[in-house]
Amino acid sequence: MSSHPSPDSPASTSADALLADIGGTNARFALARHDAASPLLMDSVREFAVADFPSLAHAAAHYLDNTGASAPRSGVFAVAGRVDGDEARITNHPWVISAARTGEALGLESLHLVNDFTAQSMAVSLYGPQDVVPIGSATWSPDDGDKTYAIIGAGTGLGVGGLLRRDGRYYPLQTEGGHVSFAPNTPEEIEILQQLSGEFGRVSNERLVSGMGLVNLHRALSTIAGEDPGPLKPADVTARAREGDERSLRTIDVFCAVFGAAAGDLVLTLGAWDGVFLAGGLVPKLLPALAHSGFRARFEHKGRFAPTMARIPTLAIVHPQPGLLGAAALAQQTSR
């Protein structure tokens, strides 16, 4: 748990919205100002372990008490789980969240619950060049006009979304595109699909492009080679790759190639000709590998559309709090 500021710290300044980014392990909170060019107040960000609190309302109240901030009138909470009307369930934690009850407990006049990838998508509206690292030679700079962006995020799972800019307003698209069927493009990938099909039946892109996807790929490659790798965690694969282990290095190569192919397919599906943003916890960790892998080649390898794909930027997100930034963007837009 992070250290806490005194009540006269920047976190106690007046704010228009209370923000949260809630996962299965950590809850991040912050404040937002609607009139600021960048509405997320970065010095107000705090992180807590969800296991330390019986409910989201208790965690949010603890944040407000510890920072000395008074509760704003409204809130936007992004949660890693399905949002169904007033209620949300965290996928990997027993909290069941009611927007009405949580807002009432915190004294908020309004509280909006959104899926975490809706916030990830909306964050694109506030990114500048300093918040992204291009993968490949195609460049990007934010400007006005109608835009269609794709967002694909490799982390615990594979999140997929989009962001439309129309007449100056942004519309995030929430999808379950990570569960699109995996389409192999090489003989090796066909063998990998055969191995994973025997294990899972249907194989989605998420079975390969995610934390557990690294493990699945490593296990499939080991089985093809006639070896048993034993139980592994995603961190084991990346650690072995750093040590020069050939099978782990090949696992990451295949991961990056399939990630690039999936990102390119998403462009074609959404018509996201203005760019693809790469989100998720694995992206910063694998940034050097992505830059020097087959990611970009497979992204562009779309037959008759290859010349078009070569002009589309692929941008790895390096902003430290994309979920909270997206929640701030939603709060700002809702206030208009």
Tally of residues, the chain:
336
**Binding-site positions:** 20-25
Structure tokens at 126: 């506030």
Contacts of 325 (CB under 8 A, 6+ apart): 40, 119, 123, 126, 319
Contacts of 175 (CB under 8 A, 6+ apart): 160, 161, 162
DSSP for 230-280, please give it: -S--HHHHHHHHHTT-HHHHHHHHHHHHHHHHHHHHHHHHHT-TT-EEEES
**Binding-site positions for ATP:** 20-25
The radius of gyration computed from the CA coordinates of the chain, to the nearest angstrom, equals 21
Q: Are strands 17-22 and 158-166 parallel, antiparallel or unpaired?
A: unpaired
Three-class DSSP category at 141: coil
The residues that bridge with 148 in the sheet, in sequence order, are 164
Distances (CA, A) of 271 to 124, 127, 147, 152, 308: 17, 20, 10, 14, 11
Buried residues in 231-262 as b, exposed as e (16+ CB within 10 A): ebebebbbebbeeeeebbebbbbbbbbbbbbb
Three-class DSSP category at 86: coil
Structure tokens at 213: 């996807």
DSSP for 292-333, please give it: TSSHHHHHH--GGGHHHHTTS-EEEE--S-HHHHHHHHHHHH
Q: What distance in Å separates the CA atoms of residue 276 and residue 278, rounded to the nearest whole number?
A: 7
